[in-house]
Amino acid sequence: MINFTVGPVQSSKAVRKIGAEQVPYFRTQEFSDVMLENERLIKEFANASDDSKVVFLTGSGTASMEATVMNTLSKEDKVLIVNGGSFGQRFVDICQIHEIPHDIIKLEAGKALKQKHLEKYENAGITAFLVNVHETSTGVHYDMELISEFCKRNNIFLIVDAISSFLADNFEMSKWNVDVMITGSQKALACPPGISIILLSQRAVDRVNDSKVKTLYFNLKSALENAKRGQTPFTPAVGILLQINQRLKEIEQSGGQVSEQEKIEKQARDFRDRIKDFPFEIVSESLSNAVTPLRALTASAYDIFLILKDEYGIWVTPNGGELREKVFRVGHIGELTVDDNTKLIEAFEDLKARNII
């Protein structure tokens, strides 16, 4: 099996080996040291300032999206949400459930965010901004410089879901004045699913500490208090946190976030250069290195996904909803090589020879 999905993705050998071992007890200095090292490396790879803090939450990415909204926003806020697909819609749903007042910038599938979309919200009393920097459902990577300048100008609290973008695209937490960055274990971190990560600026920590939210498991104030000594309030997914530690150290040893990003970019560029002769069209106006979203021009996208999986042992990512028959996505994150791309291209050639595409 070769996995080109956008998560869970393929893990390195050393990360997989940890998954086969006994899970240790965790209220120890040894485990605290691992957690503090995880915090240091996440901050470093997100270009965050020294005073920022990291929470490791046991739960998939959505748990951290919801916890962030619950602990940093309230009914007093006026939130602006970029909704360009199913992950943007998730922020809308979370704000609705928690009764956070919000406005929505709705974008068509594949469309980038532009200055013109933001204009009517200048000096309009917006207090917080929610965006999925890479809207993974359609493969659109938003312009963070544009968003950052808008938020700086209007003194807006900026929350960024970078779950599928962290490590695949550059992220400048401090320079862009981002208050919260969210990521997860199963995307470019290339570990099993189960841990999500919230990186908070000092301004975000202050909001958490002032929050009156009623929740036990999602209480970030108590998570932050525990994190000071490298611990969590409840039993975390200990094994995955050890795998994350292995993976972060692998990245550090091979040159850090910059070289990891270059590796993923090279993998993406190789693939994009080699699909020109196939009846596919790249859907997105603005791409992340993490994934290539393709519109299938001559066949059902969902059928292509099924045939590749069942007859070739190759997994690409299908789309749901109204894009199900039209779009599939090829991921470039996780333990993949250019040779793996070759196998996928050969499978496409075969589908062409069989008149399937």
Ligand X SMILES: *Cc1c(COP(=O)(O)O)cnc(C)c1O
Query: Looking at beta carbons only, is 94 or 307 nearer to ligand X?
Result: 94
Shortest distance (Å) from residue 132 CB to ligand X: 4
- Cis check for the bond before 101: say yes or no (omega within 30 of 0): no
Residue from 4, 45, 57, 61 that binds ligand X (CB under 6 A)?
61
Element at 98 (helix H, strand E): none
Shortest distance (Å) from residue 7 CB to ligand X: 5
* DSSP assignment of 260-310: HHHHHHHHHHHHHHH-TTSSEEE--SS--SSEEEEEESSS-HHHHHHHHHH
Which tokens go with 310?
A: 């069942």
Query: Looking at beta carbons only, is 187 or 332 nearer to ligand X?
Result: 187
* Nearest residue to 268 (alpha-carbon basis) of 344, 350, 356: 344
Residue from 11, 136, 138, 246 that binds ligand X (CB under 6 A)?
136
Alpha-carbon distance of 113 to 118, in angstroms, equals: 8
Query: Looking at beta carbons only, is 193 or 233 nearer to ligand X?
Result: 193
Task: Judge whether 193 and 8 are in contact, CB under 8 Å.
Answer: yes
Q: Which pairing describes strands 180-184 and 157-161: parallel, antiparallel, or unpaired?
A: parallel
Query: Looking at beta carbons only, is 112 or 345 nearer to ligand X?
Result: 112
Query: Looking at beta carbons only, is 68 or 132 nearer to ligand X?
Result: 132
Residue from 62, 174, 222, 286 that binds ligand X (CB under 6 A)?
62
| Residues within window 149-168 making contact with ligand X, judged by CB under 6 A | 161, 163-164
Shortest distance (Å) from residue 290 CB to ligand X: 8
| Residues within window 169-208 making contact with ligand X, judged by CB under 6 A | 184, 187
Return the range that interacts with ligand X (CB under 6 A); candidates 56-64, 152-160, 229-237, 259-267: 56-64
Query: Looking at beta carbons only, is 7 or 239 nearer to ligand X?
Result: 7
Shortest distance (Å) from residue 241 CB to ligand X: 16
The site for ligand X, by CB under 6 A, has a size of 13
Quick one: angle between helices 256-274 and 338-353, nearest 10? 20
Give every CB contact of residue 96 below 8 A, 6+ residues apart in sequence.
102
> Where are the extended beta strands (E) located within the chain?
2-3, 53-58, 79-83, 102-106, 128-132, 134-135, 140-141, 157-161, 180-184, 195-200, 280-282, 291-296, 314-315, 317-318, 327-331
Q: Based on the shown chain and the rule CB under 6 A, indicate whether residue 60 belongs to the binding site for ligand X.
A: yes
Q: Based on the shown chain and the rule CB under 6 A, indicate whether residue 87 belongs to the binding site for ligand X.
A: yes
Alpha-carbon distance of 192 to 239, in angstroms, equals: 10
Shortest distance (Å) from residue 60 CB to ligand X: 3
Shortest distance (Å) from residue 160 CB to ligand X: 10
Cite the annotated binding site for substrate by residue number: 329
Query: Looking at beta carbons only, is 205 or 291 nearer to ligand X?
Result: 291
Provide the terminal-to-terminal Cα distance of the chain, rounded to the nearest Å: 22
Query: If DSSP codes are grouped into helix, strand and coil, which group holds residue 7?
Result: coil
Give residues in contact with ligand X (CB under 6 A).
7, 60-62, 87, 132, 134, 136, 161, 163-164, 184, 187
